[in-house]
Amino acid sequence: MPTNRTLRRHPLLRQAVKLTLDLLLAGLAWAASERFLSVGSPIAWHLYAWVGLCGVVNLGFRLTRQQYRYIGFRDTLQLTAASLTLCLTALLLGHLTPDLEGALSFDTLVTASLATAVTWALARTFVRARYEGILQETAPDARQRTLIVGAGRAGLLVAQEIQRHPELGSQVIGYVDDAFDKQGILLQGVPVMGPSRLLRTLIADHRITQVVLAIPSASGAIIRRLREEAQATGVRIKTVPGISDLLGPRTWKPELRDVSIEDLLRREPIQLDQSALGSILEDATVLITGAGGSIGSELARQVAAFRPARLILLGRGENSLWEIERDLRALFPNQALSLELCDIRHTNRLRHVFERWRPQVVLHAAAHKHVPYLEAHPEEAVNNNIFGTERVLDAALAVGVHTFVNISTDKSVNPTNVLGASKHIAEGLVLRAARRAPAGAHYVSVRFGNVLGSRGSVIPIFRQQIQAGGPLTVTHPDMIRYFMTIPEASQLALQAGILGDTGKVYVLDMGEPVRIVDLATDMARLSGLVPGRDIEVKFTGIRPGEKLFEELFSAQEESRTDVHPKVLDAHLREPEDPLFEQGLDGLRLAMEEDEGRRQAQMLRWLRRLVPTYTPSALGLGRFAEENRDRRHSGANPVYLADGS
């Protein structure tokens, strides 16, 4: 007898076993029909003829190719069509051969056809029922009584997964859905019990122990409300991946997991202009700088979904490049990839990379971004964020790059730190390059705020602090930031950067700002902790270069909807050439100065290049003329890279 492993490895053998089973059932159906309906003794050739006819119909409708574990509506239609064909063919043959010895009776043919169809259907139903777990012996009292919020496609898939995997130890009791037309209906035998406003009542009345939030397209506000309603009853709460988690060839799967902070901050799914993006990215050579970083790596995943001719990952961190390369090869095995271990501050190396690959699209995500570190080492921000961007632009212009997207930050608006000032100047460099670019080229900057889960962001830090038992450290109770998920930021950056007009600075609609202390307490509650009782929240004070609130626009900038409903256009003026060049030259000379004078000169030229720059007195601003005496007296502490 062939084993399951043997059958899986040999499809033809598997089909032969299925055909043998169906013919055996057909033979039994005929024998039973003839036994009960015929007056005389059974005739052997009747049985052989019937089995032969069933074999022809079975093979003709390819019933052996059906996967019994996943038998569905289309398979049922196919089986019904085969059964009708079998019955009609048998009746026709019986009508055409009335004079044969032991002619086939009408009653026997009809009964045998129906019996064969029923036994074939029952065999398939039995296998499907076993796979779904319906026939599994599980103690009902030991299973989680599960209520699924969302009676759509996602909820149905969750219920099917729970039913076919009894090892999960769950039992679906019902659905909750706000759609009026779904109230009271049965979905594969499971009732829709009512709208979400009755969630607490339904949990209590039906002794629910687990709630699954199965609404992938729901916003964070909806997920938060439903979670709070369910959490108040003390039940376990699970959710499914959001639509924004989909990428490339992957399909949505009902993978149950705990509710995360990203779910609570989730916004409406982004609708991208896929055809327009595809027309530019498909079959193009795309180069991404900073490809190993949080934003750069996500941009690589998003771009790979459009099947570029080649994707070039450029960065200076070999470990991070290795990670994104491994990820991309798993997600997109047929995508042509090239890795370039390169620092954007090295002019010749950068020029060689661009001359070798001659990309049509460049996404520039390489930058230093850690505010306190750059306050302590401003020359690194200037060299990397300003002159590194200038070198990338020069290399791009030299090979005729058609589309250049510079990833910027909301910290460039009325900056109080070196990071913001350096990124503001980088935006000016892109505007200047747009004027020198070939006709029809697109050179733009895209500005957005904090992204959830990126390196150095508060989310991973809070997670580590919660695992360690606290405390949760927040700089200030009134600290507010805009947040966006990494996939959402990357998708909108692609939309704005690639489809926008050249010489523009686009700003992503970041939604409503979030208080950092609220973010910390939400994450504590998601872990089952009560802030102030189970874990301490500690305020550590504002760090050098930080401000309580980040703006998306300055007073001199306007905003209007363009390119995409969630993309705004900041009308940033192109810097005046003589003054801009003089400022860049001043920064180059300042970097050659000795300690103390170097910082003072860089501060002087940054202020000239960015008039809205208000340096932090705890950061680079301590080298300002008006703060010099205070710095030497110790009134303003000097912060080093280690935070001391």
Give catalytic residue positions: 411
d(CA 514, CA 261): 12
Answer for the pair 219, 202: CB distance below 8 angstroms, yes or no.
Answer: no
Would strands 236-239 and 257-258 be described as parallel, antiparallel, or unpaired?
A: antiparallel
The 3-class SS string of 545-594 reads CCCCCCCCCCCCCCCCEECEEEEEEECCCCCCHHHHHHHHHHHHHHCCCC
Count of positions (residues) in the chain: 644
644, HSE (Cβ side, Cα atoms, 13 Å):
1
d(CA 313, CA 300): 8
Return the structure tokens found at 4.
Answer: 């399951």
Helices and strands, counts by H and E, the chain: 23, 22
DSSP E strands in 300-402: the ranges are 310-315, 337-341, 361-364
Which residue type, as a one-letter code, is found at position 139? A
d(CA 51, CA 46): 9
Among residues 539, 611, 550, 551, which one has the least CA distance to residue 580? 611
d(CA 159, CA 163): 6
List, as one string, the DSSP characters of 402-439: SEEEEEEEGGGSS-SSHHHHHHHHHHHHHHHHHHHSPT
Among residues 440, 350, 337, which one has the least CA distance to residue 398? 350
d(CA 307, CA 278): 8
